[in-house]
Amino acid sequence: MYVCDWSITSALVDEFAERLPDREETDWRVSWLPGRLVTRAQAIAAMELVEMLYDRSVTDTDTVQATIAATAAQLGIRPIDVAVALSSRHPNP
């Protein structure tokens, strides 16, 4: 994951977050959460979720599931909603 002052991108999946120009420093948009503004910390969490779910080297363990649940909670969404949102954007991971 590449984090800059104005954008966050992933080498694993074609998703991104960007700070909105001419807005508050805390106003970020995440590509897979359309219509929703988040903080920078939430944008990083959203991109971490993408990477955890699409990184084939991450194994499905209780620890990973707990991390996914905790990270999704930072965004105020359930892990299943994350999976649904991402699967509709990336039907063939």
Average pLDDT, the chain: 87
Distance CA 21, CA 76 (A): 24
**Position 91 confidence tier, pLDDT thresholds 50, 70, 90:** low
| Beta strand 28-30 pairing with 7-9 | unpaired
Domain that residue 74 falls in: 2-89
pTM of the model: 0.86
pLDDT in tens, 19-54: 998 777 779 999 999 889 999 999 999 999 988 888
Domains held by the chain: number: 1
Is 85 in contact with 32 (CB distance < 8 Å)?
yes
Three state DSSP letters for 21-43: CCCCCCCEEECCCCCCEECHHHH
